[in-house]
Amino acid sequence: MSESTIAAISTPQGSGGISIVRMSGDKSFDIIKKIFKPINNRALDKEKDNRMMRYGHIEKDGRIFDEVMVNFMKGPNTYTREDICEINCHGSMISVRDILNLLLDMGCELADRGEFTKRAFLNGRIDLSQAEAVLDIINSTNELSQKQGLKHLSGLLREKIEEIRNIELEALSRIEYSINFTEDGEDLPVDNIIDFMQKAYDEISKLLATANKGKLVKDGIETTIIGKPNVGKSSLLNVLLNENRAIVTDIPGTTRDSITEYINLGNLTLKINDTAGIRETHDEVEKIGVQRSKELAEDADLIIAIFDRSRKLDHEDKMILDMLKGKNAIIILNKIDLDSKISKIDFDDSFKIIETSMVSRDGVDKLEGAIFDIFDSKELNKESLMITNLRHERLLNSSRKKLESSLDDIKAYVPIDCVEVDLRSSYDDLGLIIGETVSDKIMDKVFREFCVGK
C-alpha cells in the first residue's frame, strides 16, 4: 500500500452537471470527515457510510465550497484497494478546482496520470493487461473496441497468458529436473518436452492471429478516399461526417492537404485519410498530393474509389482502377442525379459497386453495408478474445521467436541448458504482458498514456 493519499479531478475539464473529485489512500476518511458537513448533521461514519452517498456541504473555516454528494468506499474492496472518497460536486471549473486545492491543503498529493489505476495494479487487484484495458475502454470509439476492452478487463487475456505460461512451465520444470538431478541430462523426456513447447507455440500463434482484426477494431479501419478532382470525395466525407469539416468546392484540386477524420459506423470505426485529387499533374504542390494519395492507398485497409457517373472514364480514372487491384475496395459511381455516361458494367464486378448522389444522399447508406460485408463485422463480433494492444503483440511475437529457437535447438540435440535459456526468456516475455516482471520504465510508459484522475 502507498504511503500517500492522492487526489485528482476524475471527470473531464469544463462545465457540466456534475464533476467528481476523487481521493485514494489512508488519509481519505480523516480528510473528508474534517471538511464534509452533512445536511442531516449525522456525522460521517467509516462503517455505516461505507459505499453510501451522503448529502451535504464541503466547508472549511466557515467557507462553503459547494453543495455535494460524498461517496466513501472503504478498502480493500475498491478500485485501488485503498480507502477511496469521491466528491460529486457541481460541474463548474471553480468548484472542482477549489475542492481539489482544499484536498491538497489537507495533505493529499496531486495524482499522476493513471495513478489510481497504477495503484490498483501495484496493490494486486488487476494485472497490467487489465490496467491497459481500462485505458482502451476510456478511449474506445466503437462498440466492438469497448467490448474487447471489457473482456481484457475481466481478466480473459491474463487467464490465456497464464495458461500458456503454465504449459511452458511444464517443459521448463522437466528440463530443470534433468539438469539438476540427472547426470548429463540423461533420462530427459525429450518428446514429452517438445510436445509441451509445441502446444505453447500453437497457442501463442492462435492469439497472434487475432492481432490484425484487433487492430482494426481498436484503431479503426485505415480508409482512403480516392478519385479524380470534382468526383465528390469531399462531399462524401462531409455526408459521412455529417458536418462540414472538409472543404467542398468547384475548383479542381483545392483539397490539397491530407486530412484524417474518424467516422464511427456502429461496430467499426473508419479512420479516413482524405487526399488531394489523384491525377497526373505538373503542379508541384499537387504532385505531392498525388504521391501521398498513392502511398495512402498502398497502406490502406480499405479504399473507397469514387467516379463521376455523368462523365466517361478517362486515363486518370483507369489509373485509379489499377490501384484497386488486390485491395479491399469499394467503387462509388457518384452523381446519379445527373445523366449517366457510364454504368456498373464498365467495372470489374469483383468489387462492390455502389451508385450514389451526394446531393440527394441516395445510396450512401449502402456504403455502410458494403464496408460491413468486407470486414465481416459479424465475425469480428463473435471473436472472443483479440490482441488489440501493440505492446502485447510485440511481446507475443518475441516470446514465440524465442520458443521457436528453443524448439529448433532441442530437436537438434543442442545441450539442454541452451534450450532452457531461450525457453525461460519466452516465458518471461509472456510475464511482461501481464506485468509480472515489469520494470518501472515499462510501467511508466503504460500509465503515462492515461489521463489524470483515472
Annotated binding site for GTP: 230-235, 249-255, 274-277
Shortest distance in whole angstroms from residue 101 CB to ligand GDP? 50
CA pair distance 120, 204, nearest whole angstrom: 27
Name which position in 78, 234, 273, 275 contacts ligand GDP (CB under 6 A).
Answer: 234
Burial of 401 from C-beta contacts in 10 A (0-12 / 13-18 / 19+): middle
Shortest distance in whole angstroms from residue 276 CB to ligand GDP? 9
Closer residue to ligand GDP (CB): 105 or 337 = 337
Site for ligand GDP in 312-341 (CB under 6 A): 334-335, 337-338
Binding residues: 22, 86, 125, 230-235, 249-255, 274-277, 454
CA pair distance 251, 30, nearest whole angstrom: 67
Here the cell at position 311 is 462523365
Q: Is 75 in the site for ligand GDP (CB under 6 A)?
A: no
Binding residues for (6S)-5-formyl-5,6,7,8-tetrahydrofolate: 22, 86, 125, 454
Q: Is 158 in the site for ligand GDP (CB under 6 A)?
A: no
Shortest distance in whole angstroms from residue 367 CB to ligand GDP? 13
Query: SS3 for 63-81, per residue?
Result: EEEEEEEEEEECCCCCCCC
Here the cell at position 366 is 449502402
Ordered DSSP codes for 291-323? HHHHHHHHH-SEEEEEEETTS---HHHHHHHHH
Here the cell at position 338 is 445527373
Shortest distance in whole angstroms from residue 258 CB to ligand GDP? 13
Closer residue to ligand GDP (CB): 26 or 355 = 355
Here the cell at position 304 is 473507397
Name which position in 296, 358, 416, 433 contacts ligand GDP (CB under 6 A).
Answer: 358
Alpha helices in 300-436 (DSSP H): 315-323, 364-375, 377-382, 390-411, 416-434
Which residues is 36 bridged to in the sheet?
A: 58
Assign residue 249 a region: left if phi > 0, alpha if psi is -120 to 50, beta otherwise? beta
Name which position in 250, 284, 299, 379 contacts ligand GDP (CB under 6 A).
Answer: 250
**Which residues, including other chains, have CB under 8 Å from residue 362's CB and lie 6 or more apart?**
336, 337, 355, 356
Site for ligand GDP in 359-378 (CB under 6 A): 359
Q: Could you give the 3-state DSSP secondary structure of residue 112?
A: coil
- Using only C-alpha atoms, the chain has a radius of gyration, in whole angstroms, of 29
Burial of 53 from C-beta contacts in 10 A (0-12 / 13-18 / 19+): exposed
Stretch that binds ligand GDP, among 203-211, 249-257, 295-303, 434-442 (CB under 6 A): 249-257
Q: Which residue has the cell 479516413?
A: 272
Number of residues counted as binding ligand GDP (CB under 6 A): 20
Q: Is 357 in the site for ligand GDP (CB under 6 A)?
A: yes
Closer residue to ligand GDP (CB): 148 or 275 = 275
Binding residues for Mg(2+): 234, 255
Site for ligand GDP in 213-232 (CB under 6 A): 227, 229-232
Site for ligand GDP in 268-307 (CB under 6 A): 277
CA pair distance 347, 69, nearest whole angstrom: 64
Stretch that binds ligand GDP, among 47-55, 281-289, 353-361, 417-425 (CB under 6 A): 353-361
Shortest distance in whole angstroms from residue 301 CB to ligand GDP? 21
Asked whether the beta carbons of 220 and 213 are under 8 A apart, the reply is: no
Closer residue to ligand GDP (CB): 154 or 249 = 249
Site for ligand GDP in 396-415 (CB under 6 A): none
Closer residue to ligand GDP (CB): 68 or 225 = 225
Residues near ligand GDP, by CB under 6 A = 227, 229-235, 248-250, 255, 277, 334-335, 337-338, 357-359
